Structure 1
Amino acid sequence: MADFVERQNLLEDDESSPAERRSASGDDRPMSAICDPSRLPHRAVVLVFMCFLGFGSYFCYDNPAALQTQVIQDLNLNTAKFMQLYAWYSWPNVVLCFFGGFLLDRVFGIRLGTIIFSLFVCVGQVIFAAGAWYDLFWLMELGRFVFGIGGESLAVAQNTYAVNWFKGKELNLVFGLQLSMARLGSTVNMNIMGWVYNKVAVVVGSPGPTTLGASLMIAAVTCLFSLVCALVLGFLDKRAERILHKEEGKTGEVIKLTDVKDFPLTLWLVFIICVGYYVAIFPFIGLGQVFFIEKFNFSPAEARAVNSIVYIISAPASPVLGFVVDKTGRNVVWVMMAVVATLAAHMMLAFTFWNPWIAMSLLGVSYSLLACALWPMVAFMVPEHQLGTAYGFMQSIQNLGLALIAMAAGAILDSRGYLVLEVFFCACICSQYFYLSFLLVF
């Protein structure tokens, strides 16, 4: 799931007196701190709902990875078909990365837009679960497509709420907390869905499509929870607008596709590095559970745990590494270090039988470091009025690469096995050195 540039249109300090706020609210009694939108306790409550807004989306995104063995066996799929579930999530976001911010700003507004995108996530997960229940793989693919329409745009809405409610120094902490909650959702999914499947199998009587569909339907409860958070946030934001006389939040993104012709060569190199790196992370996690079972003789529970360590490490490491990169600068050097560490991790997994916790922990740190160092580089290469277009194009290319490589990875695994697949991922990482050398020159 993609990282976003911090927006600049921050919520201004409320200058009104308590009496004016009481008058605006139509209540002569003084408001308590937890009810006053300008006070920290109330904003802390908003932050809780803000953080949980994307929990369901991140929890359900990797449902296929958490249930890889069950999905393949219960539906009688090969790996190439299985990886289509990730490809179908990415396809709509090849286009929507350009228009998500526009829809939030100009069509729906942040409040209605957030609710609509949350509904897409909910409906998509329900369709996905229904497809598994009735053993209709095309319906599962449709569900992932609908889920993808809401997932990435919901992340844009979440960041917009953060910018609208928090100021300056608070904003870095808020973005870090939101990222940590997202990774928590992915981690909980990886470690609990296998247990949920086993419990449902006991109730149903045997494994199979019905058990798989019921398990995925239970996972949809997290999306429903996020929808409730969207509704509560909409209410609280509307109330704050009435009391503080503030405008509804906007993404600040300006998408102008004609700006693409003005992008410098260095920016295109960043785009290529972004794709080449992430295609060696997310498709591997999507296929990792069976890899750890087959090569290292892990139990399913152990395999799910080690497969989730990338997300576990990313939760606390991203804010810390972001602070380090901000203080030291030299983003290209940090990106180079992340690429080297990622290559080392994949080579350990491919060519050694060392405890995979070592390689996966290294992968978690390097993944967090690259996200902190690579994405801010875009802001150094284009003027501010082109940032929306640049980030939209970067996310679009990333999703296109993830869709294509997900299908390629499944086909390689079916025909050649995990060793060749790991060599393929290593080759993707090695190609980044060529582009990084150009970045260093320029």
Structure 2
Amino acid sequence: MSETSFLGHAFRYFGLFFICLITLGSYYIYDIPAALQTGIESLYKIHNVEWNLLYSVYSFPNMIIVFFGGYFIDNVFGLKKGAIIFCCLVMAGQIIFSVSSNLKLFWLALVGRTIFGLGGESLSVAQSTFCATWFKGRGDINFAFAITLAFSRIGSAINFQISPRIEDNQVSKVPTAIWVGAIVCGVSFASCIILVVLDVIRGKKDKDDPSPQTASSFMDIIRSFKDIFKFPGTLWLINLSVVLFYVPLFVFVSICSDFFQSKYGISSTLATSIASVPYYSAVSSPIIGFIVDRTGHNIAFTTFSSALLVVAHGLFAFSDISVWAGAIFLGASYAFMAASIWVTIPCLVPSKSLGSAYGLAFACQNAAVASFGLIINAVIAHYNTNVISDSSSSCADSGSDINHHSNHTTGNSTSSHYESSSSCVSGPKFASPNAYHIAELIFFGLSCLCLLVQITIILVDTKNRWVNVPSAMMKQRVKDLNPDDEKDPLIN
């Protein structure tokens, strides 16, 4: 490798480091309510239903807003301004949440989480667009995407390690733990500023247009919006496969801690550890991404991932073998999917529409996960034959600390670090096995549909030859979509 080539690679991976950091704060703070569930309930004097609102006010707006976030990146703000704006929303939302913890005002906490939601998912869209732009048409784009996805999950894992230790079973320390999240968001904001500066340098070296065209009037926005309906059918099939994959993953992990305890009779601590397996498995995604970069045929990898998902839910639904077997298959399926699916989008739409394309994918994913989360919980409640005691509420009113299990869309269920009072809990803490079995049948069915969609994409692509081809053909496809791009190296 020549010195010039080495400097070009080094510069891009230096930028990739900051691309990873811009979402570290948002992933860290997203799971703060789960890591501090009992402490937050005691601090604000709320119960489980109100606590769940801290996630609901984030998720439901993102059914729509995250798509427009990607659209605004393409046609209104531009990538750099958009990233800064979304990063500011994330940090501002967490600061408001932190202030609410000092004032013990729950309504203010909801305001903060809502503002965070306005920027959180859109910032992830900006991150994907940055990554696709920096590594467009290169042989290591799968590797780069896999690194960003793995790094994001590290943010959630760090939160679950740090926040409970800061709190240390003391309600008075809950605000401190929440303020640490604001500091992490500050690190992400500083990283975003540095990334914007680096992107200006990259744009000059790559001969990018220094003043990308953005919509200047309402009619410009309407005309640009119509371009979305021109996206190829393969992109819509990929979005459908994303929905059918991530619902049996994210929604399942949100309930699986109690499911594991109910079906396999294991402890809450072990169930929580097993529930986190799919997310820790994301660490292996860069290795898989490196392999995909060398071979191409991304849809073959995503199809294999969907098959692993079918096996995982088949084991959970129809067998009684070790719970670890299904968890390992589930983790492997996520690692393969994360390393191969997202990089197909730059092969289907030009660079000027990447933000809209990623925003559309994230919007579909958020809408499906939020909706099916409600559906699955309603199914479990309907078929549950266990009578769950309401005595925990009275115990909470009398000042006793009750053990809770958090269920949310990130899947990082965590049992409380407070000591529970067994005299206050008189009924089962989770639903009956039959209720979970019905839910698991739904997950299994969705997994099978996902596999069928992936096979359909392969069949469709036998004619188009866009996304399930060798890596060299995929790189050429990106160049064909962006004929005005310069082919000069990054640093001359």
Counterpart of 2:150, as a letter, is S
- Contact 2:245–2:447 under 8 Å retained in 1: yes
- Contact 1:191–1:308 under 8 Å retained in 2: no
Tell me which residue corresponds to 2:444.
429
Counterpart of 2:444, as a letter, is I
Tell me which residue corresponds to 1:192.
162
Give the SS at the match of 1:280: helix
Paired-residue identity, % = 27
Q: CA deviation at 1:377?
A: 6.9
Structure 1 pair 434–158 and aligned structure 2 pair: CA distance change class (3 A): closer
Structure 1 pair 117–251 and aligned structure 2 pair: CA distance change class (3 A): farther
CA–CA separation in structure 2 for the residues paired with 1:412 and 1:429: 15
Tell me which residue corresponds to 1:142.
111
Question: Is residue 2:143 matched to residue 1:173?
Answer: yes
Give the SS at the match of 1:169: coil
Structure 1 pair 379–432 and aligned structure 2 pair: CA distance change class (3 A): farther
Which of 328, 335, 348 is the equivalent residue of 1:361? 328
Counterpart of 1:95, as a letter, is I
Give the SS at the match of 2:296: helix
Structure 1 pair 262–326 and aligned structure 2 pair: CA distance change class (3 A): closer
CA–CA separation in structure 2 for the residues paired with 1:243 and 1:270: 33
- Contact 1:84–1:406 under 8 Å retained in 2: no
CA–CA separation in structure 1 for the residues paired with 2:89 and 2:163: 22
Counterpart of 1:212, as a letter, is V
Structure 1 pair 80–267 and aligned structure 2 pair: CA distance change class (3 A): farther
Q: CA deviation at 1:59?
A: 1.7
- Contact 1:197–1:212 under 8 Å retained in 2: yes
Tell me which residue corresponds to 1:63.
32
Tell me which residue corresponds to 1:151.
120
Query: Could you give the per-residue CA deviations for residues 33-83 of structure 1, whole angstroms, max 9, x where no partner exists?
Result: 99x996444444333222212211122222233334444565555544444
CA–CA separation in structure 1 for the residues paired with 2:17 and 2:342: 26
- Contact 1:322–1:373 under 8 Å retained in 2: no
Tell me which residue corresponds to 1:235.
197
CA–CA separation in structure 2 for the residues paired with 1:269 and 1:240: 33
Q: CA deviation at 1:116?
A: 1.6
Give the SS at the match of 2:369: helix
Structure 1 pair 222–259 and aligned structure 2 pair: CA distance change class (3 A): closer
Question: Is residue 2:275 matched to residue 1:307?
Answer: yes
CA–CA separation in structure 2 for the residues paired with 1:268 and 1:101: 16
Q: CA deviation at 1:151?
A: 1.6
Query: Could you give the per-residue CA deviations for residues 180-208 of structure 1, whole angstroms, max 9, x where no partner exists?
Result: 2112212222333222221xx4xxxx33x
Give the SS at the match of 2:248: coil
- Contact 1:271–1:394 under 8 Å retained in 2: yes
Q: CA deviation at 1:148?
A: 1.9
- Contact 1:110–1:248 under 8 Å retained in 2: no
Counterpart of 1:282, as a letter, is F
Please give the residue correspondences for 1:254-265 in structure 2 after superposition, counting only pairs within 5 Å.
256-257=225-226, 260=229, 264=233
Question: Is residue 2:371 matched to residue 1:404?
Answer: yes
Structure 1 pair 118–338 and aligned structure 2 pair: CA distance change class (3 A): same
Q: Compare 237-246 and 402-411 and name the one that shifted more.
A: 237-246
Tell me which residue corresponds to 1:94.
63
Structure 1 unaligned spans of 5+:
1-32
Cα-Cα RMSD: 4.2
Tell me which residue corresponds to 1:5.
none
- Contact 2:257–2:268 under 8 Å retained in 1: no
Q: CA deviation at 1:408?
A: 4.3
Q: Compare 319-328 and 188-197 and name the one that shifted more.
A: 319-328
Which of 17, 26, 50 is the equivalent residue of 2:19? 50
Q: Compare 315-324 and 166-175 and name the one that shifted more.
A: 315-324
Give TM-score scaled by structure 1 length: 0.72
Question: Is residue 2:179 matched to residue 1:217?
Answer: yes
Q: CA deviation at 1:390?
A: 5.7
Structure 1 pair 388–88 and aligned structure 2 pair: CA distance change class (3 A): same
Query: Could you give the per-residue CA deviations for residues 202-254 of structure 1, whole angstroms, max 9, x where no partner exists?
Result: xxxx33xx4333322212221111011011222333455567865449799x9
Structure 1 pair 74–336 and aligned structure 2 pair: CA distance change class (3 A): same
CA–CA separation in structure 2 for the residues paired with 1:329 and 1:307: 27
CA–CA separation in structure 2 for the residues paired with 1:392 and 1:190: 28
Number of residue pairs matched?
Answer: 393
Counterpart of 1:360, as a letter, is A
Counterpart of 2:194, as a letter, is V
CA–CA separation in structure 1 for the residues paired with 2:62 and 2:442: 26
Give the SS at the match of 1:279: helix
